[in-house]
Structure 1
Amino acid sequence: MKKTDSTVPRFLGAAALAGVLLFAAIGIAAQFLRPDLDWLQTPLSFYLLDPHGLWVRAGYFALALALIALGGGWYLELSPQARSAAPLLLFVCAGLALAVTAVAETGRRGQPVTLETLVHGLAAQTAFLCVTTAMLLQAWRLRADPRWRQRFAIAFAVAVAAFVGLWVHALWREAPRGLSQKLEIGLILLWLGSAANRLRKGASRAAQGAPALSQA
């Protein structure tokens, strides 16, 4: 890719990193601002309700845009033989699903299930599944680009851990629901933030043996 062509991927990487960091900051702050919620047992969706819910919703939208920017940025960054529309489409799908998750209110404890509650749950599951699958596929495509091949191992390992963690969270019902979900979100944010930072810096440093993806 020519130097002049690298401007857009760099910009998208910076935008994606900003969105990931904003979501992480708001999510962490919400744990302290909502002492009425047990962070070990309460999934993040409940922080969208009542006090400070608008801030958490803003974080969701920031991450949704970050996912779309990251997918587009990596599609443009990789060499033609390494490009695939699959990760891009999955990142876009994850971003749209996350936006729906923020808008559709989750069910409150003790209240009957509504259509809005079902939409929220389905959108959240779609976002998790799409983003972890996109991470796997995007990491796999690094192998086909000589400039990024050395980043494949760590990127793929973290993506696999996040994908496995998603199913552990879904199937291990005895685990504290809030804790297991937040650990999974942490793994996803680690991958997304690192990938966005690498995209922001560009392939030149990667080709010169810069620190590994997870150490960015």
Structure 2
Amino acid sequence: MSDTAPLHPEPLHGGAAGLAARLAILGALLFLGVAGGLQLVRDDLAWQQATLSQYLRGPYGLLLRTMYCLLAVAIVALAMGLYVQLAPRARSAAPVLLLCAGSLALAGVAIGDSWLPQVAPDFHLMFHHVCAITAFLCVVSGMVVQAWRFRLDAAWRRHFPLAAAWSGACFVLLWVHALWPPAGRGWVQKLLIALIVAAMLLAGAWLHQAARRADGGAGR
């Protein structure tokens, strides 16, 4: 038996992290498939102008609301999976809390749009607006903070440049969409959502690879 410890030991959470990665990938793929498909079948909405939230009501609205909730669960799973897989010095509660708060707000958008418009239309407008803003701000901020933590883990440091650039681009696009009127159209919001969900796919793939390496190391 060797007394020499590895320089960068892998966290022994491969099983949990692998499950989280698969859930994140599945949730992201299903969301992109449904949201993308609705751009083709909802001919009552102009896809260039309509925000994705407008598809929550009307034909296939229940399906999209379900995908919103599934995506919220997938974001939480990804946040927790990354937390347990990263080296202890790279872990931080900040991205987990931000991503979980954003997920809760995202689910609030979907659940609120299911019955609030009929029961309390004025409150619904305020609730939807607050939840949507919170979801975007928390999720994108969580992405930025999580990317920054990658540099503190030797196994994840190689992912830091792309993760930082991607999350930074989402952060800039979020504020351009919010503050510049010409960028306030629906297609810009959908582009931002697509970039966020694509980042989930990428992070989920990285996490899946890391979990497999951890399982392989634990089996030796």
TM-score under structure 1 length normalisation: 0.88
For 1:193 and 1:28, how far apart are their aligned partners in 2? 16
* Percent pairwise identity: 42
Match of 1:211 in 2: none
Among 78, 81, 85, the residue aligned to 1:73 = 81
Match of 1:89 in 2: 97
CA positional deviation for 1:12: 0.3
Letter in 1 for 2:82: W
Contact persistence 2:14–2:211 (CA under 8 A): no
CA positional deviation for 1:175: 3.0
Contact persistence 1:104–1:117 (CA under 8 A): no
TM-score under structure 2 length normalisation: 0.87
SS of residue in 1 equivalent to 2:44 = coil
Structure 1's 128 and 176: CA in aligned 2 closer, same or farther, altered over 3 A? Answer: closer
Match of 2:55 in 1: 47
CA positional deviation for 1:19: 0.6
Structure 1's 59 and 31: CA in aligned 2 closer, same or farther, altered over 3 A? Answer: same
Contact persistence 2:49–2:186 (CA under 8 A): yes
Letter in 1 for 2:186: G
CA positional deviation for 1:5: 2.4
CA positional deviation for 1:6: 1.1
Segment of structure 1 superposing worse, 175-184 or 16-25: 175-184
Task: Summarize deviations over 1:170-203 as a string: whole Å, max 9, x none.
Answer: 0111235111101111111121110011111216
For 2:12 and 2:88, how far apart are their aligned partners in 1? 17
Unaligned stretches of 5+ residues in structure 2:
1-8, 214-220
Determine if the alignment matches structure 1 residue 17 to structure 2 residue 17.
no
Letter in 1 for 2:48: L
Larger Rg: 2
Match of 1:212 in 2: none
Higher RCO (Cα < 8 Å, 6 or more apart)? 2
For 2:63 and 2:152, how far apart are their aligned partners in 1? 40
Q: Kindly report structure 1 stretches of 4+ aligned residues shifted beyond 3 Å.
A: 1-4
Give me the CA root mean square deviation. Answer: 2.1
Among 193, 198, 202, the residue aligned to 2:210 = 202
When the two structures are aligned, how many residues end up with a matched partner? 203
CA positional deviation for 1:134: 0.4
